[in-house]
Amino acid sequence: MSDRPTLPPEMDPMRLLSEMRMPMLDVEALAAAQRRNLEALSAANRVALEGAQAVARRHMEILQQSMTEMTDAVRGTATGANPQDRAARQADMVKATYERAVANMKELADLIQKSNSEALTVLNKRFSEAMDEVRGMVAKKEG
């Protein structure tokens, strides 16, 4: 059983193309190229989905880590000998929290960029192959 979606017979591209009876068109080659196009699109979607899942997982890890750190920081600043020490600890905590937030945002942005780049690479590779196939079909018909 194939994992490809099936179309009703009246919408089957192979049947429609073969009924056109175009002498210069290699229907089998065209159908094979379309299959490869759909496979590449499916692969790109899979890469994008995996990337989105990785971003979501990492985002949850960051949130959990942030909550733990915030709880520990609040406990640490609640105790102290004098208000100046507490204020200094709070300022250090705010600075460290800001720096971690910026680093986390950069990490998530890098993950998203990597995922998008991988998906586009799949599509660009298939596009290049498709153009080579078209050139080959044209050359074959002319020759």
| Confidence band for 1, pLDDT divided at 50, 70 and 90 | very low
For residue 30, which of 17, 21, 16 has the smallest C-alpha distance? 17
Residue 114, pLDDT > 80, answer yes
Question: pLDDT value at position 24?
Answer: 60
Q: For the whole model, what pTM was predicted? A: 0.66
